[in-house]
Amino acid sequence: MSLPEHAPSNFIRQIIDADLASGKHSQVVTRFPPEPNGYLHIGHAKSICLNFGLAVDYQGACNLRFDDTNPEKEDLDYVQSIQRDVQWLGFQWAGEVRYASGYFQQIHDFAVELIEKGLAYVDSLNAEQIREYRGTLTEPGRHSPYRDRPVAENLDLFARMKAGGFAEGEHVLRAKIDMASPNINMRDPIIYRVRHQHHHQTGDAWCIYPMYDFTHPISDAIEGITHSLCTLEFEDHRPLYDWVLDNISIACHPRQYEFARLNLNYTVTSKRKLKQLVDEKHVTGWDDPRMPTIAGFRRRGYTPQSIRRFCESIGVSRADSTVDVAMLEHAIREDLDENAPRAMCVLRPLKVTIENWPAGKVEVLQVPAHPKREDLGVREVPFTREIYIDAEDFSEDPPKGWKRLYPEGHIRLRGGYVMQCTAMEKDAAGQVIALTARYDEKTLGVNPEGYKANGVIHWVSADQSVPCEVRLYDRLFSVENPDGDKSRDFLEFINPESLQVMSAARVEPSVAAYPAESRFQFEREGYFAIDPSSTKGKLVLNRTVTLRDSWGKEQGKGGK
């Protein structure tokens, strides 16, 4: 089987190629097994692209299977959000959505089989005692006093656990492996515990739930997974994965392979900490555009193509590393520079009255929607007697090299005429609050005669533009590794300038006709997307990314 030309080589693809060539497998079957206890983040995007991408490239199948073994922390909202995220990234799972809970009866029966073989026992130590008996990295564990219970007693106790006869923590079921193993995961791991919790899929049918390390290999085997791909933190769990499958009556024995997880600077991806950000309202929700969740990136204006391209560019290896978030920002800039239509938006409106333009006259200028994409057509930009420019594009006392507007200076209005500032109006504090100008009627699309414009600025019509709220998002954390100093709370490193709201902004009317999540390049301001919360009466725009990477420069100045 030949792969698409774009497919990058990596150690997992080499393993798959060898397995297919040897006849070990005739089809590739992978799975993406998220826990429904939070929204997916950028690290999950790498796993999604890997597992689903392999299935696509090898014309195989990838299952979406929820590891729903901990109902206390799970929610249907998370289940639904994960499905949305996978599909938004451009992938589709094979067949129906699967749930580990759909295999609970089979998993239970395999646990009974282990008990009958003398390979599992009910332990009555409490959680603290189990930790104490487990030992340390340098000292072996000790046998529980309940380790040698008779098989019949273990079967009876496990049946009573299943029937709801015990409180949470009163008993657990443990695999009987080796308390002296150098791998702590093999020191009689817990494989079942009592949880009197309502489950979002099985209701109240169960009050005992299998642990992940017991559920995962069995679920893989039931589904006929050929290559079970996990991140490196599960490498020490692989012996347990194999032990479970070697000791139960199941024909299929998948292999687990580990790859390096995605670590991104200026970011935290711990689900617990992301949930803390949400619960404590440091952000507005899981889909806050500052969050590293797929939903957050989508709302911010990232495209699925840019995230897939980013995941492809960082590659797949077994070496842990931290990726610069600038690589992700480069991926979206590259995408939007090529595909996003242009528009003009004034964030800090300063009114300019063009005194030689007739009152009430509206001229509709035809401006290309994209400088290099004729297929995107043109947009209509109304030009009127009163316009807004950005207050930062005018200086009463311009510094050397100033390329924007100043008193008596000439400036080109993007897509329009050259105008000259003729007067200023100030408030009681001496701040410029309005300008008067004259336009040169002979300069539409041509250079002025006898003088030069000092530069080009963006603008909108005062009465034909659309009021909007523009949210300028930046990185949520101000240091590269907000989770790196264990002596300090990661919340201390939240960037106080991660969100600035420009509530008086104005945008050209063409933008208001687009649906939610449409993306634009606003001339000289950056890339933006229409927020899903927008209504006909209130247009809200989110900054996806700046035109250029200014973060490093600001850091060098001690800015952020």
Q: Note the pLDDT tens digit of each residue in 450-506.
A: 999 999 999 999 999 999 999 999 999 999 999 988 899 999 999 999 999 999 999
Specify if 245 maps to a domain. Answer: no
pTM for the complete prediction? 0.93
The predicted structure's pLDDT at residue 555: 46
The predicted structure's pLDDT at residue 164: 97
Residue type, 472: L
Tokens of 489: 């709370």
Question: What 8-state DSSP symbol labels residue 412?
Answer: E
Specify if 168 maps to a domain. Answer: yes
Question: Strand 539-545 and strand 466-473: pairing?
Answer: parallel
HSE toward the beta carbon, residue 302, CA cutoff 13 A = 30
SS3 labels along 58-127: CCCEEEEEECCCCHHHCCHHHHHHHHHHHHHCCCCCCCCCEEHHHHHHHHHHHHHHHHHCCCEEEECCCH
Catalytic residue from among 134, 142, 195, 261:
261
Final residue before a domain boundary, out of 162, 181, 211: 211
The predicted structure's pLDDT at residue 321: 87
Q: DSSP string covering 315-346, please?
A: ---SS--EE-HHHHHHHHHHHHHHHPPEE-EE
The angle, 0 to 180 degrees and rounded to 10, between the axes of the packed helices 76-88 and 42-57 is 50
Q: Answer whether 263's CB lies under 8 Å from 323's CB.
A: yes
Q: Select from 384, 379, 337 the least CA-distant residue to 514.
A: 379
Q: Select from 283, 271, 268, 286 the least CA-distant residue to 81.
A: 286
What percent of the chain has a predicted confidence (pLDDT) above 70? Answer: 97
pLDDT beyond 90 at 214? yes
Q: Residue for token digits 């595909």?
A: 339
pLDDT beyond 80 at 557? no
pLDDT beyond 80 at 430? yes
Residues 188, 199: Cα–Cα separation, whole Å:
27
What percent of the chain has a predicted confidence (pLDDT) above 90? Answer: 95
Q: What beta strand segments (E) does 135-207 contain?
A: 172-175, 190-194
- pLDDT tens column, 104-142: 999 999 999 999 999 999 999 999 999 999 999 999 999
Catalytic residue from among 149, 271, 333, 506:
271
Residues 251, 221: Cα–Cα separation, whole Å:
8
Final residue before a domain boundary, out of 196, 211, 226: 211
Final residue before a domain boundary, out of 211, 226, 255: 211
Domain count, the chain: 2
The predicted structure's pLDDT at residue 90: 98
Say which CATH number the domain at 161 has.
3.90.800.10
Residues 422, 440: Cα–Cα separation, whole Å:
13
Phi/psi zone of residue 233: left (φ > 0), alpha (ψ -120 to 50 degrees), beta? alpha
Specify if 11 maps to a domain. Answer: no
pLDDT beyond 80 at 549? no
pLDDT band at 87 (very low <50, low <70, confident <90, very high): very high
Specify if 370 maps to a domain. Answer: yes
The predicted structure's pLDDT at residue 548: 87
> Residue 393 in 3-state DSSP?
helix
Say which CATH number the domain at 388 has.
2.40.240.10
Q: Answer whether 48's CB lies under 8 Å from 89's CB.
A: yes
The predicted structure's pLDDT at residue 9: 83
pLDDT beyond 90 at 188? yes
The predicted structure's pLDDT at residue 7: 62
Tokens of 65: 């299977």
Instruction: Give catalytic status of residue 271 as yes or no.
Output: yes
The predicted structure's pLDDT at residue 320: 87
- pLDDT tens column, 255-300: 999 999 999 999 999 999 999 999 999 999 999 999 999 999 999 9
The predicted structure's pLDDT at residue 3: 41
The predicted structure's pLDDT at residue 552: 47
Specify if 40 maps to a domain. Answer: no
- Please provide the average confidence, as pLDDT, over all residues in the chain: 95
The predicted structure's pLDDT at residue 4: 44
Question: Residue 165 sits in which domain range?
Answer: 104-211
Q: Select from 525, 530, 528 the least CA-distant residue to 547.
A: 525
**Average pLDDT of 416-442?**
97
201 and 350 together in one domain: no
The predicted structure's pLDDT at residue 550: 57
pLDDT beyond 80 at 554? no
